């Protein structure tokens, strides 16, 4: 790997994406920040600049092939290469009974969580394959929902199960090109989006219960650890959770 390291974080404007982008910068990475809203990305890019690293803020839609193609053109023009993709962008659907879920709600989740992850992985794979020196690492955000569902979460759970298959396929196909691919499954990181869990969320038995949370910086540190490994070593799957969350034994 070159002395300078270049990463792309999708969904970088908030939560896990923001924390991971800043942690990577503190660990010496230059970071491209992708997300829907430009203003938060610009603010984070400014923070990364204060850390002495380079940053590019790129707004767009990961579910749109043209937008993703433009994203990778911008990265190649700005950085010249890519050593890491953290495929983190995601969204959820309303927690409604399956028969009340609209196709538009289903499709919106699939477009971001699965199609978006594929398009960004495809763009990263192509750039990592043709750059010199060849290779890089892709980390997919699988979520605890890649293992078990929460109540009324069919779109999110289905896409996150699919991410596991995508991760394994990329890990296999990337071997010939020194492209490593792993997955991080995150449970109950305290972000603004997850803060509602501190007030109580539905459980499998119908109860509403408060769930333990972990500091999002612990997740960011795990991403930095996965990213820091040589390409000869890969963490295929990592599950990181709040110790007392109802994951083991869920249901």
Q: Is 156 assigned a catalytic role?
A: yes
In terms of DSSP bridges, do strands 201-202 and 208-209 run parallel, antiparallel, or are they unpaired? antiparallel
Cβ burial of 228 (10 Å; 0-12, 13-18, 19+) is middle
Residue 157 contacts residue 151 (beta carbons within 8 Å): no
Q: Which of 81, 156, 197, 214 is catalytic?
A: 156
Token duo for residue 239: 């599950």
Tokens coding 11: 């969904």
Helix (H) / strand (E) containing 9:
strand 5-10
CA 40 to chain centre: 17
Q: What is the CA radius of gyration of the chain?
A: 18
237 phi, psi to nearest 5 deg: -140, 135
Query: Does the CA dihedral 233-163-140-57 come out positive or negative?
Result: positive
Answer yes or no: are the C-beta atoms of 15 and 143 closer than 8 Å: no
CB 86, CB 17: distance < 8 Å = yes
**Which of helix, strand or coil describes residue 251?**
coil
Q: How many other C-beta atoms are found inside a 10 Å radius of the C-beta of residue 100?
A: 9
Residues marked active site are found at 156
């Amino acid at each position: 790997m070159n002395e300078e390291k270049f990463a792309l974080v999708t969904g970088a404007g908030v939560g896990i994406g923001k924390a991971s982008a800043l942690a990577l910068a503190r660990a010496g990475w230059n970071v491209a920040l992708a997300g829907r809203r430009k203003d938060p990305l610009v603010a984070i890019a400014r923070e990364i600049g204060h850390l002495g690293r380079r940053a590019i803020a790129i707004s767009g839609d990961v579910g749109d092939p043209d937008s993703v193609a433009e994203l990778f053109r911008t990265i190649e023009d700005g950085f010249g290469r890519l050593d890491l993709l953290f495929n983190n962008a995601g969204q959820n659907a309303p927690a409604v009974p399956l028969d009340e879920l609209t196709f538009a709600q289903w499709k919106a989740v699939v477009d971001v969580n699965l199609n978006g992850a594929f398009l960004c992985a495809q763009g990263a794979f192509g750039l990592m394959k043709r750059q010199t020196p060849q290779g890089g690492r892709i980390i997919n955000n699988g979520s605890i929902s890649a293992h078990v569902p929460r109540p009324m979460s069919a779109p999110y759970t289905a896409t996150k199960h699919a991410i596991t298959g995508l991760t394994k396929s990329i890990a296999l196909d990337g071997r010939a090109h020194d492209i490593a691919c792993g997955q991080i499954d995150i449970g109950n990181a305290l972000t603004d989006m997850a803060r509602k869990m501190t007030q109580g969320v539905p459980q499998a038995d119908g109860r509403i219960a408060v769930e333990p949370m972990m500091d999002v910086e612990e997740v960011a540190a795990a991403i930095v650890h996965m990213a820091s490994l040589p390409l000869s070593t890969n963490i295929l799957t990592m599950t990181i959770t709040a110790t007392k969350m109802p994951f083991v034994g869920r249901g």
